[in-house]
Amino acid sequence: MRIGQLAELTDTTPRRLRFYEEQGLIRVDRAANGYRDYDERLVEQVSHIRGLLEAGLSTRLIKQILPCLDDPRDIHFADATPDIIATLEGHRDKLAQRIELLTRNHAAVADYVGALKQCALGVER
C-alpha cells in the first residue's frame, strides 16, 4: 500500500510515518520504481508505536520493545542498563494507572449511556 493509505488507516501523517522509518521503528520495502510499499501488518505496528509514544516512551526504547509485541522471546538486552530498566518500570506503572483510569471512565460512560437509553424509553430507574 502507499503511504497515504497507511496514514489514513492509522490516523497519522505521511511525515510521521517517514519519521518512524528513519528511526527504524518500521521497515518499508521499495517497489521497482523506488516508491515505498507499506505492508498491511504495519497498520497494527503503527498503532503500537503511537500508543507507546503517547505513553512517553522514547523512540529508542520503543525500537527495543516492538519485537516483544509479536514475540516476547525476541528481547534485545544490548542497552538494558539499570537506568533503562527503571525508566521502563516507571512507564509500566504509569500505563497501569492509565488503564485503571480508562477502565473506570469506560464503566462510567457505559452506565451513563444505559441511563440515557432507559430515560429515552420512559423507564424510571
Tell me if the pTM is above 0.75. Answer: no
DSSP single-letter state for residue 26: S
85: left (phi over 0), alpha (psi -120 to 50) or beta: alpha
* Band of pLDDT at residue 24, cut at 50, 70 and 90: very high
Q: Domain ranges for the chain, please list them.
A: 1-75, 81-125
Q: pLDDT of 94-109, one tens digit each?
A: 889 989 999 999 999 9
C-alpha cell at 94: 504509569
Nearest to 69 by CA among 48, 42, 92, 39: 48
| C-alpha dist (Å) from residue 97 to 30, 51, 92 | 41, 15, 9
Q: pLDDT of 51-81, one tens digit each?
A: 889 888 889 889 888 877 766 555 656 667 8
Task: Determine the topology of domain 1-75 in CATH.
Answer: Multidrug-efflux Transporter Regulator; Chain: A; Domain 2 (1.10.1660)
